[in-house]
Structure 1
């Protein structure tokens, strides 16, 4: 695991050094993927649009959060900012320097990422719900429009997921493998 963690630290250092200009965007994306938004923004909005989808979303969020907690207890992954302070693999006190942000200091287990896991669950429900409205279209133009809508919405889904994951790695809250596990754990 030390090899995986030390390589993750190198990726974090690369992001923090070379993508500093995107710090505001990455902090925003970390807030977009915050599981609290499921209950305060996404669920109320979708419940007003469609109660079935809203109910599905809240169940997915609750069950996903429950699984995330169970996985965190089982996997008990380190957090990068704290791992570099505690590990003994770096000789002569030469531990790498990771920048700390106001939202870096999460102290619980880090694997899998709850932001990545919750975001992937809820955005999956939102995309599939939006696409369900276009499935009923029958004529040729509508089929083409459905395909374009499908491509657009799934592209947005992946852009959001990748941005949330990169943001969590950038702020040194998660190692890269933890956010990848979070996206695919649900």
Structure 2
């Protein structure tokens, strides 16, 4: 596009950074404000902003640009809950609730690795036993593994990530419906 400022950042980049690092109503500081890309994106996402700039031409362009930006009014549209803020569901709870039974066979999406669910909510493969994460990492020879997305179970014709059970339980926690 046509840039007035030589180091102007793409709005899409600032959008991702601001969404990841702030919540609506937070203040975003840009000490090298330039033509106001940070301020424009912050305003659009319902954040306040402080911009510092010396160049009068850039300041004029930034003011004009930001004046044209419409803020999203509904905060629910602006907030994306992080995975870390969601309730933690131990795999053992999935087993206790009967969503997966002891002895159920889990596999990776390719079917290369398999493990059985134990009554205590751990897994056992031919060579390893431990949590869904530990066994998933061990069978792959990897330092870590998200067992929720690695392990799958066959339901009819479909191979489904065990994460669907965690999501079901989270939904029940928030709605109170089982």
TM superposition score category, shorter chain reference:
under 0.3
Which fold has the larger relative contact order, with Cα–Cα distance below 8 Å and residues 6 or more apart in sequence? 1
TM-score (norm 1): 0.26
Give 1 or 2 for the bigger CA radius of gyration. 2
